[in-house]
Amino acid sequence: NAGVTQTPKFRILKIGQSMTLQCAQDMNHNYMYWYRQDPGMGLKLIYYSVGAGITDKGEVPNGYNVSRSTTEDFPLRLELAAPSQTSVYFCASSQGPEAFFGQGTRLTVV
């Protein structure tokens, strides 16, 4: 069972570069989320989606964009990377109160 798959696992970006973090789920869940976790902090919601074609902002959306063209995929786009975006990013999906998480992408912006 793959569950929620994130790629890449690690990435180093230079300031001003852009990249897309990939997320795919095979559980046919309608709801998908992107969180970031900074050291010593809980997870903060960046964006979420309630179904294909529908996305909305979470607590910390600035500097990010998302799209949801299919039920399975929910990529997160970083434009003009900044050091403040150095973090661990988690994608999750749900079809009820319990969310299932991917293994995370550790991103460093230098």
Partner 1 sequence: DQQVKQNSPSLSVQEGRISILNCDYTNSMFDYFLWYKKYPAEGPTFLISISSIKDKNEDGRFTVFLNKSAKHLSLHIVPSQPGDSAVYFCAAGDSWGKLQFGAGTQVVVTP
Which spans of this chain sit near partner 1 (rule: CB under 8 A)? 4, 30-31, 33, 35, 40-45, 48, 50, 90, 92-104
Judged by CB, which is closer to partner 1: 64, or 90? 90
Q: Is 35 helix (H, G, I), strand (E, B) or coil?
A: strand
Q: How far is CA 103 from CA 64, 73, 93, in A?
A: 20, 16, 12
Judged by CB, which is closer to partner 1: 19, or 31? 31
Judged by CB, which is closer to partner 1: 17, or 45? 45
Q: How far is CA 55 from CA 61, 63, 71, in A?
A: 11, 15, 12
In whole angstroms, how close is the CB of 101 to partner 1 at the nearest point? 3
